[in-house]
Structure 1
Amino acid sequence: MSRRTRIFIGILLIYTAGIAFLLYRVVLDIDPRYRESAEESLVETTQLMASLVEQDVIAGAINTARLEPLFRSLYAREFSAQIYNLHKNRVELRAYVTDRSGRVLFDSLGRATGADYSQWTDVSRSLAGLYGARTSRDVENDARTSVMFVGAPIRWNNEIVGMVGVGKPVQSFGQFIEDARARTLAVGVGSALALLVLAIIVSVWLVRPFGLVADYFAWVRAQRTLSLRAMARRAVDAVRSGIGEMRDTLTGRNYVADYVQTFTHEVKSPLSAIRGAAELLQEPSMPHEERERFLANITRETQRIQEIVDRMMELTALETRRVLDRIEIVPLGSLLDDIATSAHAAALARGIRLRLDIQNDAATEGDAFLLRRAVSNLLDNAIDFSPADSEVLLTLAATHKHVRVAVRDHGQGIPDYAQDKVFQKFYSLARPHSQKKSTGLGLAFVKEIAALHRGRIDIANAKGGGAVATLTLPVSHLPRHSDRLGL
């Protein structure tokens, strides 16, 4: 994975983490806010109940006689209330009254009459003239049975003679909490995705106004026959191109800096060799043979710099292409046969046998020129790393989804320290027969070509020695003879 991609993914991860943290805090804050709202309503209801009970206090004695028929009638009421998404048809309010010692004189549910509630927080604090509230469970191990209670003192001649507690099950407003959480998450995630899409669209618009759309319609007009599958795939490639351009816009400065630094490092060695040879050539007494040797050295190093510059320009031009300009059905069998024929002379000069094994012919969609360059690079590498009197095998095999082009040599294989570096730009291993390195851009070139064709390139050590490079591409059916004739 390149540094550009890592930076781009890092930015997306930071953005995702920030949105997730914000949503987490908002969702976490919903439950306390609803509880505060419910508790505020219970405070007023409790004060109302305390005022009602105080009207029946006689000489400091609390009379709860009229509360029982009142709540019996309240619980028996029939009604239907649609509160947004919540349908309510029964009263869930609870109430109890205690004397000054905390003993229950009245319970609207008829469960706790006579019980000692003096240890409950709402009761003890209310009897002390303070604000008291609590949340308790009807069933100890079931959080869904939690009930919020708020207490208020009952006074007679400025003396607290008891308290009123009013409660409401948490589950009655818990539906609002769950609904608010779901809505908040939906809005948050939707807004985050919309903002991300907007950022991508704006970034692409800043880089290439209407360019992607124009390229897409130009491609559609160039097709003789239209296929919905091919059009969808081309549209996906166009979107991928826009995302790639946005990534390059975000990380382009680092990318250029890395390129310049690496290129400078690679050119420094041949430039030093040329300068050293030029300084020695200024000696008037240098023998003719030595002069010829240093001149040949200058020529060789100059050619190396030229090759690095040429390959780097090709690779840079390839990296700026997000989609293929020209797509055609490429028969790989005939393509590999031409490549093997062209490489036969170079292999023969090294005493290497080159064998082509087409297990089943297949085709792929893409640029025939670029595919030829990719396979030729792999074949040249295999020949360079093969010992004399060995064999290089070029294989074509296909499944119903993929076609694989494999190049196998019988050299020394890839050292462990180079396994994760072979696709890095300017990284190269010394050739066994010459102990010289290449430009280190060939495999990077192949990797870009594979990506443009929606494929991949893998290189690994083969069983029995040597290395095998596998170029995997999407398979495409060869046109029938009638299709080629337009019938």
Structure 2
Amino acid sequence: MRMGMRLLLGYFLIVAVAGWFVFSIFVQEVKPGVRRAMEGTLIDTATLMAELAKDDLLSGNTQHGRLAKAFADLRYQPINASISGIKKRRNEYLLYMTDAQGKVVFDSAGRAVGQDYSRWNDVWLTLRGKYGARSTQIDPDDADSTVMYVAAPIIHDGKIIGVLSVGKANNTMTPVIKRSEHRILWAGGALLGIALMIGGVMVWWINRSIGKLVRYADSVTLEQPVPLPDVGSSELRKLASALESMRVKLEGKNYIEHYVHALTHELKSPLAAIRGAAEILQEAPPPQVAARFTDNILTQNARMQVLVEKLLLQAKVESRLEIPLAAVSVNALFVRLRESRSIQLERKGIALQYDESDLQVAGESELLDEALGNLLDNAIDFTPAGGSIWLTARAQEEQVLIRVTDSGSGIPDYALDRLFERFYSLPRENGHKSSGLGLAFVREVARLHRGSIQLVNVLPTGTEATLTLHRHFT
């Protein structure tokens, strides 16, 4: 099972268990909570009704007193109320009154008059000055037929002369209880759904960030490194930096070995040429021959110097993990490119064209100058005399695409996959080869800027290099 799915399941189980505990407690408390509220209402009602019923009890005319008349009239006055969607059609109170001995002298239902209720808990306790209440099951076979009674004393001259007990069937509160339980369970289901959705988003983000790191690690393994990904989280960013640092350290030995072999290979030709020229000069040839071989020595020496300098620059760039980013004007880059290569452009009669741009990129100005300079140098070398080169920049969402397009001969198909290898070079028009480090340097600069570099052929002839960088927002 994938780690993201495990995280999602673990997160969901934690939320589900916590939700189950919370909601089960809520549901378990709904019924007793409603009944406690009903009991409180019954207490208030019984106390009030006991005060109203005192005169009826003292007069000895409880069957035709004010209390009896009120209940008789109540039967002919239906209630039409809607309480939060719950319909109430009739009075649901049951009431009976006893004398000081617990004998029922009035019953709103008309069934218990004359019966001895002195042993019922509500009457028994109330006659002794205590709080009296009971819950009695009317139908022995129906657990939902219970009625809650709460009693209040009828007091005259400081003495308890009777008891008034008010009751209400517990099942009258069933709609309220069911409605509350339904709402709680619905809210619980919605909360679990939201938690699952949030967990899914979190897992998607984690998988996406880890996927970036995996692709980065795979690219290093395939020796096709991509820019260090921006994973967003500080912890994952530290992991990405650690992977990058590990890559650099693991590549160190192979890096040095490769460079030594490559440098040795590249230096063989100029060293052999210098040695051959020196041997001929030792034989004191004619002045014109000596001058020719002296020029050859100077040319090969300059070639070795350029190679060593580019190797040092390449090594310096590849050893860096991060660079300070600042706003760099694309237009300023184009102006500096034109000024620095003006002599080469005039020598070959190449027209360099570019449009002024107000775009800015996030980067290091010197590295971008060097990288774009390498791209422009390649364009000049492979563009015939009288050709054209275009510098363009275009914004694409949060990125800027800087393109160097020439009207040259294009790139052979066999070389397309090897252009960014160190020391790989194609012959120029003059028959010479470059150091083969220019495009490798551009790739490293793109990596440091978390960007990319791409070279493609364009029709009818020519090559287009696209350096993708991040925009700088002010």
Question: TM-score, length-normalised on structure 1?
Answer: 0.49
Question: TM-score, length-normalised on structure 2?
Answer: 0.50
